């Protein structure tokens, strides 16, 4: 089985029909559902919170990959655990206590992810990598779907992959923002293995677009 995973972002789906959107995504054979939680404070936009995730949970067996773009994410760990999140990924920039917050995510029974914005260096998370099941490298500035992939992030992904090997760690490397049938190659070659895609997948035929990205990962 491939270690590559696709994580469609529900942010680009039809919000009035999450149940049918989840079924439609599941039928395409993707591995994760990427759920973007925005608080209007850490990022300028507001999306949805743990109650919406809880409402979606009975309608999908896929891995719920929750990306919290919220200030003080440590205040929301228990509510996302109760809502049925499988992976909880929090921004290093959003808390003064990233180490403790990652420990709390694991203690709550979820996989722990840490994410950094395009301007944040890998060095800022070097000492928490041992706690991470997943490290997310933002390839856009977070807040909105439909933005352009920042090509300079490939160097950062490669730096992270090298550090992971040096430390003998196993975490997944996820990328998020502007992933399409072109940019996915740059991210993969740099060392990413989990690919979030929103606007690319939902523009046109979802199933066709998923298959195009799957082919891109296997050619
Ligand atoms: C951006 C979000 C992304 C977004 C990706 O803040 O974290 O997950 O949904 O959307 P696209 O693929 O359109 O860049
Ligand atoms: Zn995201």
pLDDT band at 1 (very low <50, low <70, confident <90, very high): very low
21 in Cβ contact with 10 (< 8 Å): yes
Long-range contacts formed by 180-185: CB under 8 A, 24+ apart: 180/149, 181/212, 181/213, 181/216, 183/139, 183/149, 183/151, 184/213, 184/216, 184/217, 185/216
Report whether pLDDT(216) > 90: yes
Q: Among all residues, which ones are annotated catalytic?
A: 36, 176
For residue range 179-193, what is the model confidence (pLDDT) as tens digits?
Answer: 999 999 999 999 999
Strand ranges, E, within the chain:
5-8, 32-38, 63-69, 87-91, 111-116, 134-138, 172-176, 194-197
Residue 218 CA, ligand 2 centroid: distance in Å: 23
For residue range 2-26, what is the model confidence (pLDDT) as tens digits?
Answer: 599 999 999 999 999 999 999 999 9
- What confidence score (pLDDT) does residue 219 get? 75
Model pTM score:
0.98
Cβ-based burial of 49 (10 A; exposed 0-12, middle 13-18, buried ≥19): middle
Phi-psi region of 175 (alpha: psi -120 to 50; beta: other; left: phi over 0): beta
Structure tokens, 135: 């490290």
CB atoms closer than 10 angstroms to residue 152: 9
Report whether pLDDT(63) > 50: yes
Q: Which atom of ligand 1 is nearest to the CA of 11?
A: 9
- What confidence score (pLDDT) does residue 147 get? 98
Residue 73 CA, ligand 2 centroid: distance in Å: 15
- What confidence score (pLDDT) does residue 2 get? 59
Q: Strand 134-138 to strand 111-116: parallel, antiparallel, or no bridges (unpaired)? A: parallel
Ligand 1 site, residue 156, Cβ cutoff 6 A: no
> Please, what is the average pLDDT of the chain?
97
Phi and psi angles of residue 152, each rounded to the nearest 5 degrees, phi first: -65, -15
**Which residues, other chains included, contact 139 with Cβ-Cβ below 8 Å and sequence gap of 6+?**
118, 149, 150, 153, 175, 176, 177, 178, 179, 183, 187
Short-list 107, 49, 59, CA closest to 80: 49
| Stretch (H or E) spanning 177 | none
- Mutate-to-test residue for ligand 1 from 176, 182, 199, highest number of ligand atoms within 8 A of CB: 176
Over range 78-100, report the average pLDDT.
98
Residue 35 CA, ligand 2 centroid: distance in Å: 7
Cα separation of 219 and 214, whole Å? 9
Return the percentage of the chain with pLDDT > 90, whole number: 98
């Amino acid at each position: 089985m491939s270690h590559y995973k696709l994580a469609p972002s529900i942010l680009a789906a039809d919000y009035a029909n999450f149940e049918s959107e989840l079924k439609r995504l599941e039928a395409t054979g993707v591995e994760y559902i990427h759920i973007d939680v925005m608080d209007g404070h850490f990022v300028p936009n507001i999306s949805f919170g743990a109650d919406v995730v809880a409402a979606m949970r009975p309608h999908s067996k896929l891995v719920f990959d929750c990306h919290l773009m919220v200030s003080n994410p440590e205040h929301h760990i228990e509510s996302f655990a109760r809502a049925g999140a499988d992976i909880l990924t929090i921004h290093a920039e959003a808390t003064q206590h990233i180490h403790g917050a990652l420990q709390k995510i694991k203690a709550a029974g979820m996989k722990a992810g840490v994410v950094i914005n395009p301007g944040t260096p890998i060095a800022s998370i070097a000492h928490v990598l041992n706690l991470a099941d997943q490290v997310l490298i933002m390839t856009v500035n977070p807040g909105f779907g439909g933005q352009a992939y920042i090509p300079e992030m490939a160097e950062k992904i490669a730096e992270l992959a090298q550090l992971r090997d040096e430390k003998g760690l196993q975490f997944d490397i996820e990328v998020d923002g502007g992933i399409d049938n072109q940019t996915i190659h740059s991210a993969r070659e740099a060392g990413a293995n989990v690919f979030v895609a929103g606007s690319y997948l939902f523009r046109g035929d979802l199933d066709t677009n998923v298959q195009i990205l799957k082919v891109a990962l296997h050619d």
